[in-house]
Amino acid sequence: MIEERPDRSAEVVLLGRSNVGKSTLMRELTGHSFDTGRRPGVTQAANHYDWAGPDFVLTDLPGFGFMEGVEESRREEIKTAIVQYLEEYADEILVGILVLDANSAVEIIDRHEDRGEIPHDVELFGFLQELGIPTVVAVNKMDKAEDRDETLDAIAERLGLHPPWKQWQDTIAPITAKRGSIDPLTEAVGNHLREQKREELLQFFS
Ligand code: GDP
């Protein structure tokens, strides 16, 4: 893991609220366990997982949203840094993976909307679309979801994707990162890479 972005023309980024399981997923995707020593909110830099040969980098953007002991102003800075990163590298980013927690996403989105605020997840999902970055929403912790279809339909609806969620399998990928159950995500990412004639990068997602 390095903090300086390597000069690569192909990139996949992971983003998500803090505690959704992004590090767990990163570990699953790369087969590597890294102790980044990154405490929530401490760094606003991205972590890059790079390979020696291929012109490809997998980037883990810092977690956003509420973090125990992290001030609001600091959290805003982190979100701004994420937005700037996406803008700057939009041409290189082939796929964005927005990670959500199946069991809290809807409640958090609704709470913000009730207050008249735009929820971060909704905003960033829209922003990725605006930038033309194909996006997969990895709905994690499905092992704890009570009603699978109900949960996924509710999330789809909040993101402006007309339910049933099953119509959106290239966009919505239910996973349980902790158990390594991430096939829907690798399939969806694979489809987006194939569309961009970059199927050779699929080897990094198995
Ligand atoms: P991050 O802050 O997004 O990097 O989240 P972490 O990867 O550190 O995970 C946050 C917490 O969620 C940890 O306690 C993980 O063990 C737990 N977690 C991650 N993936 C899953 C999952 O698929 N199911 C369940 N039930 N818990 C998970």
What pLDDT digit, counting tens, does each position of 168-177 carry?
A: 999 999 999 9
Determine whether the shortest distance from the Cβ of 200 to ligand 1 is under 6 A: no
Nearest CA to ligand 1 atom 12: 21
Closest atom of ligand 1 relative to the 175 alpha carbon: 23
What pLDDT digit, counting tens, does each position of 34-84 carry?
A: 665 556 656 667 889 998 888 999 999 999 988 888 898 989 999 999 999
Q: How many residues does the chain have?
A: 206
Q: Note the Cα 55 to chain centre separation in Å.
A: 21
What pLDDT digit, counting tens, does each position of 76-127 carry?
A: 999 999 999 999 999 999 999 999 999 999 999 999 999 999 999 999 999 9
| E-strand stretches of the chain | 11-16, 47-50, 57-60, 93-101, 135-140, 172-174
Confidence of residue 144 (pLDDT cuts 50, 70, 90): very high
Check: pTM over 0.85? Answer yes or no: yes
